[in-house]
Each structure stands twice: as C-alpha cells, then as structure tokens.
Amino acid sequence: MALCRYAHPVMYDYPARLMNLVQHIPTVTVQNRLMAASDRDIALSLMYIESERRQRILSLLSARKRERVVDELRLQERLRITSDHYERAIRNVISALAQDRNQSSIRSYLRPRRSRNRA
C-alpha cells in the first residue's frame, strides 16, 4: 500500500476509520449510505486501502455503482491527487456512514396547509 507523495501523516488514520465503520454498522445500512454517496468520493476514499478491504467495500455496491466507482478509481489513479482532495473525499464517505439516521427528520412529513377559504 503506497501512499502518494502528497499524503499527509494524518491521512493514515482515515482508511482505518472507514473500515471500522464498515465492519460495525449493519451491512444494509452501509449499502444504503454508500449507494447515496458520490462515486468520486468513494473511489478516492478507496485509493489507499488494501485490495482485499477495497473489494469488501466494493462488494457492498450494486453492479452498476461498483462499475462506476472502479472506472472513477482508474481515472483518479492516473491523476495527481493532493492530500486535501483525498482527505475531503474520505471524510465525506466517513461522514455519510457515521450519520445517525435513527433520528428521523420531521421536515419530510410537513406539508403545506390548504387554505380553508378555498372554493
């Protein structure tokens, strides 16, 4: 596992945090949250994860999403990715996985009230 020359030492912790979340959150929840995440963010977050662990995460995606993420990963591996870009992407994925959805938002249930004076 080689880190790019732009890697910052703080970045070493992010792959471990990502894998910890994937292992401790129910699989269906991880799948749903990854499916809603950006292909590019997922691809960038997988760049410095060992192949076996990368495949574990990719296996949670649908076939089409997995194909898009792998294509994006191939593209990103040819580009010069700065540590800031990598860190932002993996933090987005970690944040998406770590969010607490048990506290449902009430705003999705609020509907405009119809006027009583409507004819």
Please give the full DSSP string across 53-103, using - where no structure is assigned.
Answer: HHHHHHTTS-HHHHHHHHHHHHHHHHS---HHHHHHHHHHHHHHHH--TTS
CATH 1.10.220 fits 19-100, yes or no: yes
- pLDDT > 60? residue 24: yes
Whole-model pTM: value is 0.73
Domain boundaries, the chain: 19-100
pLDDT at residue 7 is higher than 60: no
pLDDT at 110 over 80: no
Q: What pLDDT was estimated at residue 6?
A: 43
Are the C-beta atoms of residues 83 and 8 closer than 8 Å to each other? yes
> How confident is the model at residue 91, as a pLDDT?
92
Instruction: Match 């995606």 to its residue by tokens.
Output: 61
80-106 per-position pLDDT tens digit: 888 888 999 999 999 999 886 554 444
Band of residue 44 on the pLDDT scale cut at 50, 70, 90: very high
Q: Check residue 41 and give its pLDDT.
A: 94
Q: In angstroms, rounded to a whole number, what is the distance separating the alpha carbons of residues 18 and 13?
A: 9
Q: At which residue do the structure tokens 């020359």 appear? A: 5
Handedness of CA 3, 59, 62, 100 (dihedral sign): negative
